[in-house]
Amino acid sequence: MGYLIRTTHVLTTGRDCGLETPARIVYISLKFLVGMTKSGSTRSRSFLLPADRFETNDRQLMTATASEGDDRIIRESGIDARIALIVQPVLRGIGFRLVRVHLSGQNGLTLQIMAERDDGTMTVEDCEEVSRAVSPALDVDDPIEKAYHLEVSSPGIDRPLVRKSDFVTWTGHLVKMETSVVVADRKRFKGKIAEAGDNDVLIERDKAAYGEEPTVRVPYDAIADVRLILTDDLIRDALSKDNRARKEAKKRRGGPDDDVSDGTEPDAAEEHEQDI
């Protein structure tokens, strides 16, 4: 259960567009390719933005604020970190939070931005909203010198865990974890989240080797990457959490309370079980 918005970015200056004006103008052409498991649509949008819309001091303040407000325990480095600093305040301003940023060489250059609402939900409309919001900010700050594809997606069911709250939310589920340093003679672990503490997470090993303890405590600051493993239990739990979150969000907006149970949707659950 995941959604994806793909945007192709082509950046040209006002001079290249034949605009004769003393003001610095950036012409941004955005082509939205909305990818879903069912059907999609193709739309094109164009924007004219003043290149000095954000003054240097404003950008520095935005960057500092973004760094201080990042509650993720797993963060990016290099160019990915710079991009994260740009998009985080934009996401917070429209009610979303960043999960992960990754720039890869796939299909030329592809910038992947994974985001979600605070309640963990993310619809295809949300993906498009995020794409529309972050695109101008990225084009103004221009962290990527070449043309690139922007992909905005939901975390999905077998999602990465990047916050302490993620470990609390998904306690009891199976994960794959890599650490940046050796922990209990290993750097890779597979097991269930048994307990999420303030400073570390307790992992119940899936298959402990001879002589190994059945559980291991991994400090949060030692974790390099961790994501959920797709299981039947995870699918049912994820669908149930998603249903409850959507009902609560609809109540807050004053919408009608649909007769949706807190359990999983049978058709959706069956479809995912077939995929497995």
Strand pairing of 174-183 and 96-104? unpaired
CATH number, domain containing residue 189: 2.30.30.180
Report how far Cα 224 is from the mean position of its chain's Cα atoms: 16
Specify if 180 maps to a domain. yes
Work out the mean pLDDT of the chain and round it to a whole number: 77
H or E segment at 90?
helix 78-93
Question: Do 20 and 148 fall within a single domain?
Answer: yes
Of the ranges 12-26, 40-54, 185-199, which one carries the lowest mean pLDDT score? 12-26
Question: Do 142 and 43 fall within a single domain?
Answer: yes
Count of structural domains within the chain? 3
Specify if 81 maps to a domain. yes
The pLDDT tens digits for 81-118 are 999 999 999 999 999 999 999 999 977 899 999 999 99
| 228 close to 159: Cβ distance less than 8 angstroms | yes
Specify if 158 maps to a domain. no
Sheet arrangement for strand 174-183: 215-219, 200-205, 186-196, 174-183, 223-228
Question: Do 34 and 92 fall within a single domain?
Answer: yes
Q: Residue 265 is part of which domain span? A: 232-275
Question: Do 25 and 120 fall within a single domain?
Answer: yes
The pLDDT tens digits for 177-186 are 999 999 999 9
**pLDDT tier at 168 (50, 70, 90 boundaries)?**
very high
Question: Do 138 and 175 fall within a single domain?
Answer: no
**pLDDT tier at 34 (50, 70, 90 boundaries)?**
very low
